[in-house]
Amino acid sequence: MNGNRRWKGNINRAILDAAAAFNNLGKVAEEYLTNSLDAFETAIHDNPDQKLERSDCKIQFIIDRPNDAIIFKDEHQLMGMPSKFIFNNFFNIHGTNEGRKRFVNVRGKHGTGKSAAFGIQAEYLLLDSVCKGKRTTVKSTYKSLQEENEEPAPLDVIRDGDDTDLPNGTTVEIKLPKSRQEFVMV
């Protein structure tokens, strides 16, 4: 009789609650760097014939002082996320880690770490990913997550599978809030 009754909740608050564990720049940096390492570990697992070495993956951590941002960038021919994966998996909090589900040795479990930027109240998280000649760029803002309505925060889709000649990989840019900039700018 009541089989159609379901839990309800505020997804924005759930995202911010998950992000609260990442309350300093060290934890945030570790999370996004680990995401790149996990992605490459998945590439190694999925392509045994390529005989990839973990040292083959290029990962950068950039402190962009003029723009008060920190940037995490990975690059490899087998890296990057297609648009469908970004919207179905990356922007899916508390979801299943697809690599772990397939027994890949990755750290991530339930997709909460992607919200780490908002643990330091970053103004925004910008995800820019290139996979097989297609580029997707999506922005999420702290302000949108603070909305108290029950609708999930909107994503600003800048590019969605646009053709590109850029190399495969993913860039995450985090715009630091005014209150945290002094920690990076010292």
**CATH assignment at residue 63:** 3.30.565.10
Give residue 35's pLDDT band: very low, low, confident or very high (50, 70, 90): confident
pLDDT at res. 123: 97
2 belongs to a structural domain: no
Query: Which residue segment(s) compose the domain that 76 sits in?
Result: 11-48+55-185
How many domains is the chain partitioned into structurally? 1
pTM: predicted TM-score of the whole model, two decimal places: 0.86
Give 63-100 pLDDT, tens digit per residue.
999 999 999 999 999 999 999 999 988 888 866 656 55
3 belongs to a structural domain: no
pLDDT at res. 186: 44
- Choice among 23-27, 39-43, 46-50 with the minimum mean pLDDT: 39-43
> What is the average pLDDT value for the chain, to the nearest integer?
86
Largest CA distance in the chain: 62
1 belongs to a structural domain: no
Q: Which two tokens stand for residue 82?
A: 């297609």
Please measure the distance between the N-terminal and C-terminal CA atoms of the chain and give it in whole angstroms.
62
Element at 18 (helix H, strand E): helix 11-19
Q: Which two tokens stand for residue 36?
A: 């790149």
